[in-house]
Amino acid sequence: MRLPFRLLFTLFLITSSAAKAQDEILLKLDSIAIIEYKIMMPMRDGIRLATDIYRPKTEQKVPIIFSRTPYNFNSWGDGKRKTWTAKRAYEAVSRGYAYVVQNERGRYFSEGEWDILGVPLTDGYDAFSWLKNQEWSNGKIGTLGCSSTAEWQMAVAALDHPSHIAMVPQGYGAGVGRIGDYYEQGNWYRGGVEQMLFFSWLYSVEHDKFKPRIPEGATQEDLIRISRFYDLAPENPKVDMSKALQYLPIQDIIKNMDGKTEIFDDMITRKPNDPAWYKGGLYHDDMGFGVPSFWFTSWYDVSISPNLALYNHVRNSAEDSEIRDNQYLVIAPTLHCSYTRAKENTIVGDLSVGDARLNYDEQIYSWFDLWLKGEKNDFKKTTPKVQYYTMGSNKWQSSDTWPPESSKMVTYYLNSNEGANSLYGDGTLKTTPPVEDNPDEFTYDPMLPIPSYGGNVCCTGNAIKAGSFDQQQMETRNNILVYTSEVLTEGLEISGFIETTLFISSDVKDTDFTIKLIDVHPDGKAYNLDETIQRVRYREGYNKEVFMEEDKVYELELTPMSTSNYFKEGHQIRIEISSSNFPRFARNMNTGGNNYDEKEGIVAHNKIHHSSTNASQIRFPIVFK
């Protein structure tokens, strides 16, 4: 079919405009920078990593901002990536920094074999050593990046390279392994349940083992020439993830999409405390930490709670007092890696959270100027240890700690008389504990799981829309328990970690319990704030599996949720409880088996108990000012 001339002309104008913008930023960059493409940086085992270097045209030695990534940054690729790399480089060079971007081992033009957070930690250390020895380098390096360009930074910070002076990790959850009670192992798990975002992400990014390879010994000139024609960027066929993630058994999901399976096949069989998690590039709480850090997180990211727990861990446990004292944190009300997308009216899902803009770049470069240039600026004087955005009141706030020192834990108890099933039940949240046990029972059928609707998630293709959405339609389901507070007669701020203790029973050996925190508006709209899940077999720890006896009551601690939300006068606090949130989390087949290799599940009849002895409860960090 031939496209109309008008449409063709419009497409030409759009393309021409984008190309012009790309050319302009590259020309501006060329005017101030010495650019070296496809430097093949040697690692200690002889593997070479493809590196692009942009540095100021000056005789003076300069500090370095270093980004190491599994993503494609080829300057001759598509316009969006080309512009992004050039903009970041121009910003750094114009401020007097060299900007260095490097592909991880096995990615694009870098040699070797890639493994998600499994490449040697020494690659980062060796890169620091190579960079500090360049004649144009002042020997001081800061690391910067979001998501997979951030996740490697924490474990390398544990190696305490003398030139790794400061870092700015953003949306870094997939680099967090075990922190305290969190055993997420790089966002693979939550409460012992697989987070299915990696099923989608691995399909979309992993290169095939039979990909084209650049011959060993190719010169820089060869690589520059080749990269202008061959991007080495694979593009798997588009897949409807909303359907693909439903495939059973889950160990065959990527195989069923005709994707590369080797890394996935290994990871899907690992349990939450498998020794393999401690051999790669994840950061765990038994490791040291030696780098001043400016952390960036967001309320609707996939792992806000372990991210905040890591910040607290470093601030409280780093061996060096100077390192402890130089940890700063920003918590934005955005989706994964969407800090700079905050607008005068920031929308997260369907919810407006107001004007969430912040001078991110100015703060980041003030931080780097302090550490990498040795400038005596006012960063420490003017920057709070914690900057956090409170939704509802829609404003930035500050604190010296997280949670804020003015917050106190207040217990709300779950209760019902006739039953908390659905929005139409009588489930309540009250500060007074119940007396009699009227357990709420619901049915969980893994073959008909409750669909995810919004949430704190990323990277799932079209399977889930991340963010906050009105949950009322979901709450009409009889297999969701709904507990709601009285209408608030005055506003109430909840800022911090939200803890949950449930007393549960079931007629199956193993099942899951989910919880979702909701802000109910006066018009009835119910907007989700955070959610979590817990697999019951891991209630006594992730180093063992303990199955249930039929109808016996067990105490279950869920991994804490996190938020900062002001519940206005006339609003209500609500939680939803069920046993699935799919495909946000993999479903439990309820058999007590492996789950990952099972095609058929069994129906569970699950109960939440609330009485003086089995007081199911949720503890909120309420800010008192």
> 3-state secondary structure string, 47-59?
CEEEEEEEEECCC
Q: Scanning the structure block, which residue is given the tokens 């372990």? A: 306
Q: What is the domain partition of the chain in residue ranges? A: 407-623
Strand partners, 268: none
Average pLDDT value for residue range 373-381? 96
Backbone angles phi, psi at 207, to 5 degrees: -85, 145
- Span 384-415, pLDDT tens digits: 999 999 999 999 999 999 999 999 999 999 99
Q: Supply φ then ψ for residue 599, to 5 degrees.
A: -100, -25
pLDDT in tens, 48-90: 999 999 999 999 999 999 999 999 988 665 545 557 888 999 9
Give the residue ranges of DSSP H helices in 377-523.
Answer: 379-382
**2: pLDDT strictly greater than 80:** no
pLDDT digit string, tens, across residues 535-575 = 999 999 999 999 999 999 999 999 999 999 999 999 999 99
pLDDT of residue 17: 54
Q: What Cα–Cα distance (Å) separates residue 233 from each residue in 74, 227, 237, 449?
A: 9, 10, 13, 36
Rounded CA-CA distance 129/127 in Å is 5
Q: How far apart are CA 104 and CA 295, in angstroms?
A: 22
Paired with 33 in beta bridges are 56
Residue 210 confidence (pLDDT) above 50: yes
Please say whether the beta carbons of 584 and 465 come within 8 A.
no
CATH superfamily of this structure's domain 407-623:
Galactose-binding domain-like (2.60.120.260)
pLDDT of residue 288: 96
